[in-house]
Amino acid sequence: MFADIATIFVKAGNGGDGAVTFHREKYVASGGPDGGDGGKGGDIILEVDDNLSTLADFRYKRKYFAENGQKGSGGRCYGKWAPNLTIKVPRGTVVYDNATNRLIVDMSDKETFVLAKGGKGGFGNIHFATSTRQTPRFAKAGAPGEEYEIRLELKLLADVGLIGFPNVGKSTLISVVSMAKPKIANYHFTTLTPVLGVVRMDEENSFVMADIPGLIEGAGEGIGLGHEFLRHVDRCRLLVHVIDASGSEGRDPIDDFEKINRELAVFDEELATRPQIVAANKCDLTDEDKIAELKEYFDKKGIPFFPIMAPIAEGTDELINYVAAELAKLPPIKVYESEPEPEPDYSKKTERDFSIRKEDGVFIVEAPWLLKVMETINPNEYDSLQYFERVLKMSGILAALVKAGVQEGDTVSIYDVEFDYVP
């Protein structure tokens, strides 16, 4: 079954907890803390697999969890890092954050992408020994891994898209000009999945053509198979609009052309402005006056017009040569730019935003969302530290520390950052 959209849940592994241990050895008094750090959790990595052509595998497995990092242990032993979890997707898959609809990545020109980062391992108690705190009896918990509910959409990577009403000869045309072998029959919706074919001009030049099925009146609103396949037109640099010149289905070819273009505009206004070429098929079933009438209509609109008889490849060479020449003038296939994550509003706070506890006189703050903020902080820059202070204030962490009894000079620990509290 062809599947070009799927929703899955991914969670990177949590970091392992740091260890609270003390060195014990004969003849060594007061060996001191030697608890090692926890290991990093596994990342979730997307990888392009050119042998895949659909998202069907995601119909059966919808949740992906990377392994957690191992806990630290005594003797300054670090926990083992967890292996990464790789998810394979077809080239051309576009990944969205399903909660915000933010475009995360377009897997068209990338081979791999880190979708969710594993959590850092927690510090063992060896990090917290000072001249005044020689036996720290606490360590840091591992940071949680990132998690997302994501939506995968496959948008075919084709240079040319064949569009038009059902049964106008799109499948026949692509079978004649390429090695594609779609099912061909004289009834509507013979083609139920997009068909890709490589059109080879010579040893060094070729382009990819896609037969886009499912376009009828109302497709822009999702009638029929419209929305299922209109997304595959989106990347096409050039559209070949196939019409039935003979009107053998009882429809007017000019009216068909205008209706399909209205559906493109409803789905995406930019699609209606995409360069088009008209291929008037079934010319053997009509007279020369009708063909001349169609040519005059499209000449007035400035749209190249090619009469063809696809089953016997009449006129197809001229059409394909013109298509290849036009593609050489057009920009490459569209690749979507990733959208940045929205700036969080740290003034909005819930009870789960952070936690504060006091161990051995140290106020320990845990707030998973702070990890991304801290990655951007440079402790050697005054402005960066000022920004960090504003975040702590707006999120309510500073107020909560005061409520927890912090005093001037007390040590505050936030993951791998420690500082003395100054009111």
pLDDT by residue, tens only, the chain of 423 residues: 457 789 999 999 999 999 989 988 777 667 788 999 999 999 999 999 988 888 888 988 999 999 999 999 988 899 999 999 999 999 999 999 998 899 999 999 889 999 999 999 988 888 888 777 788 888 888 888 999 999 999 887 889 989 888 888 888 999 999 887 766 555 455 455 678 888 998 877 889 998 887 565 544 444 444 446 677 788 889 999 999 999 888 889 999 999 888 888 887 888 888 899 999 999 988 889 999 999 999 999 999 999 999 999 999 999 999 999 999 999 988 888 888 877 666 555 554 578 888 887 889 888 877 877 777 777 777 777 888 888 888 888 888 999 999 988 888 888 777 888 887
Residue 182 is predicted with a pLDDT of 62
Residue 325 is predicted with a pLDDT of 93
Q: Residue 367 belongs to a domain with what CATH number?
A: 3.30.300.350
**What is the rounded distance in angstroms from the CA atom of residue 28 to the CA atom of residue 316?**
89
217 shares its domain with 272:
yes
Q: Is 253 helix (H, G, I), strand (E, B) or coil?
A: helix
Query: From residue 153, how far is each of 41, 83, 104, 115, 222 by CA, in Å?
Result: 27, 27, 12, 15, 16
Residue 223 is predicted with a pLDDT of 42
**What is the rounded distance in angstroms from the CA atom of residue 380 to the CA atom of residue 330?**
49
Q: Using the 3D structure, point to which of 297, 327, 357 is the last residue of a domain.
A: 327
125 shares its domain with 44:
yes
HSE-CB at 83 with a 13 A cutoff on CA atoms is 2
Domain limits at 4? Answer: 1-154
End-to-end CA distance of the chain: 64
81 shares its domain with 202:
no
75 shares its domain with 207:
no
Domain membership of residue 124 (yes or no) is: yes
Residue 382 is predicted with a pLDDT of 78
Domain membership of residue 335 (yes or no) is: no
313 shares its domain with 389:
no
Q: Is 220 helix (H, G, I), strand (E, B) or coil?
A: helix
Residue 129 is predicted with a pLDDT of 81
**What is the rounded distance in angstroms from the CA atom of residue 147 to the CA atom of residue 125?**
28
Tokens standing for residue 33: 């803390």
Query: From residue 325, how far is each of 225, 320, 330, 354 by CA, in Å?
Result: 32, 9, 9, 61
298 shares its domain with 175:
yes
Q: Residue 279 belongs to a domain with what CATH number?
A: 3.40.50.300
Q: Using the 3D structure, point to which of 327, 357, 392 is the last residue of a domain.
A: 327
21 shares its domain with 3:
yes
Q: Strand 85-89: give its sheet, edge to edge.
A: 85-89, 44-48, 112-116
Residue 116 is predicted with a pLDDT of 94
Residue 229 is predicted with a pLDDT of 63
110 shares its domain with 29:
yes
By the 8 A CB rule, do 91 and 107 touch? Answer: yes
Domain membership of residue 254 (yes or no) is: yes
Give me the number of domains the chain comprises. Answer: 3
